Amino acid sequence: MHVSEVMTRDVRVVSPHQTIQDAAKMMSDVDAGVLPVGENDQLVGMITDRDIAVRGIAQGKGPDTPVREVMTADVNYCFEDEDTDHVARNMADQQVRRLPVVNRDKRLVGILSLGDLAVMQGSQPAGEALAGISQPGGAHSQMGGPRM
């Protein structure tokens, strides 16, 4: 099965110049915990509700802080025509729960989450990805290394 068959297509994008309060409001409006960050029609990052809490509020930053200051700039993504089993393994290896989905022109066309995989393909691919994601630490740890 291809990513395009299971991904979420309705995606809101926040600008790196908008505030973290704007991002939080957008997340609330669409009932999501992550937003792609886009600038000049390019994907430049991702911001999660956890980024806002840990890199923003916990560090004393206020609601007017620009998204750019707390977002993750190192963006992992997948292509819409990739096989979902392959992408699920990559999600486990990269320890991410969501990936932006781009077309071959690298234009954002959706987001793939573990939930999308579980709903459309059952528990095996999503479960295998979650097992890898749940390992302590990893490149996307908010604390900068393995947690005890």
pLDDT, mean of residues 89-109: 90
Fold of 3-133: CBS-domain (3.10.580)
141 or 76: whose pLDDT is higher? 76
Which residue has better confidence, 114 or 60? 60
**Which pTM was predicted?**
0.77
Q: Are 46 and 13 in contact (CB under 8 A)?
A: no
Report the alpha-carbon distance of residue 138 to residue 127 in Å, rounded.
18
Q: What amino acid is encoded at 92 in this protein?
A: A
N residues, the chain:
148
Region 23-38: mean pLDDT is: 95
CA 32 to each of CA 21, 106, 113: distance values in angstroms, whole numbers, following the listed order:
14, 23, 11
- Confidence category of residue 96, pLDDT binned at 50, 70, 90: confident
Q: Does residue 42 surpass a pLDDT of 60?
A: yes
Helix (H) or strand (E) holding 89: helix 84-94
Residue 91: is it exposed, middle or buried by C-beta count within 10 angstroms (0-12/13-18/19+)? buried
pLDDT at 144 over 60: no
Q: pLDDT for 106-127, tens place per residue?
A: 899 999 988 888 776 555 554 5
| Domains in the chain: boundaries | 3-133
